[in-house]
Amino acid sequence: MKSNVALIGFMGMGKTVVGKALAERLRKGFAELDALIVQRVGKSISEIFRQDGEIAFREVEIEVTKEVAGRKNLVIACGGGVVLNKINIDRLRENAVIVYLTASPAVILKRTLVDGEARPLLNVSDRGKEIKELLRFRKPFYERAADITVNTSRLSVDEVVERILSELNRYEGLH
Ligand code: S3P
């Protein structure tokens, strides 16, 4: 039996806000991988990318994912790139049902416009084009990892949480 739920999906999917609400409903703890990485390194995500580079960020992401994946009874909000290293998903899957939150590129663009600097990978001149390219590359990774998929394009946060809860109910193996 698995006792964790891991939320994966592209930036701007609401993994953090949905994850917190879901954790409350399931009476589980909540862990956000990006926040733990920031705590561990003592720098913001954009500082890590700028000063140390993406590869260094991914190395810390692997370490932190390993630690969190080994804990029990958690809803885990993962960074959008967690699927890029298969080892992360293999470790999460041992004790987590993996929920993939998706949305259309247009919705992602709208949702990520508000955070400006915070997302170094989207800090480019043509953000819409970058989103489409990253999505095209990553889609198979997300799809392969997912036990449950929820399209959030037309849903509020509360509706996404309800949808996940009903899918989890039908999913055998979470306790
Ligand atoms: C990333 C997503 C970010 C953060 C980092 C890299 C990605 O997390 O981990 O900027 O590669 O998609 P969010 O998905 O929470 O924005």
Identify the residue whose C-alpha is closest to ligand 1 atom 16.
11
Residues with a CB atom less than 6 Å from ligand 1: 11, 15, 34, 45, 79-81, 119-121
Ligand 1 centroid vs 10 CA: distance in angstroms?
A: 7
Identify the residue whose C-alpha is closest to ligand 1 atom 3.
79
**Helix-strand-coil split of the chain, %, nearest 5:** 60, 15, 25
Identify the residue whose C-alpha is closest to ligand 1 atom 10.
119
> pLDDT 10s digit of each residue in the chain, 175 long?
899 999 999 998 999 999 999 999 999 999 999 999 999 999 999 999 999 999 999 999 999 999 999 999 999 999 999 999 999 999 999 999 999 999 999 999 999 887 666 889 998 989 999 999 999 999 999 999 999 999 999 999 999 999 999 999 987 767 7
